[in-house]
Amino acid sequence: MTSQPRKIFAISELCTACRSCEIACAVAHSRSASLIGAILEVPLPRYRIEVQAGSTLNLPLNCRHCDEPECLFACKAGAVSKDEATGQVRVDLEKCVGCWMCVMICPYGAVIPDALIGKAAKCDLCENRAEGPACVTSCLTGALFYGTEEEFEEYRNTRPLLKQLKAHR
């Protein structure tokens, strides 16, 4: 890998579980690319980021594009690949047969079995979207960030809201 891969990072403390990212993700993965259009589509477009609520935290979670992608190892259809240049883990929907091996193996539960099309849905980093990942651009509190790990650390350390939150506690 030549440079650090760019990924989507989440700051749990800033997530209010408004689920704007889920909607933006679904719209970004719809054919019409508009909210109204997306709602009317058959099959409904599937969002690939989920705001999960734990007992102590809100976590907007999508594919981690792992360095050791277990979904790739487990895929018996050869549908999952890792881009060595960008680090992105991709699913080739032409090849996916919906065997759900990836759903069974992903330790994050970040591969979504899209029952409507019978194939695995997961974050593709909105690679064809000029503005970058829709979840990130839609987040109202800056809880999501797209960049390298280093860039994320810097971003995280400079969030005024995060400082306020810490002071508040």
Asked if 23 touches another protein (CB under 8 A), the answer is no
Hey, what are 104's tokens? 């069974």
**Per-residue contact track with another protein, 78 to 117, x per CB under 8 A?**
x----------------x-xxxxxxxxxxxxxxxxx-x--
Q: What is d(CA 94, CA 15) in angstroms, rounded to the nearest whole number?
A: 34
**Residue 53 is a binding residue for another protein (CB under 8 A):** yes
- 16-25 burial, b for 16+ CB within 10 Å, e for fewer? eebbbbbbbb
Residue 118 interacts with another protein (CB under 8 A): yes or no: yes
Nearer to another protein, 33 or 57 (CB): 57
Which residue is associated with the tokens 């509190």?
141
Per DSSP bridges, beta strands 58-61 and 7-10 are: unpaired
Footprint of another protein on this chain (CB under 8 A)?
A: 50, 52-59, 61, 70, 73-74, 76-78, 95, 97-113, 115, 118
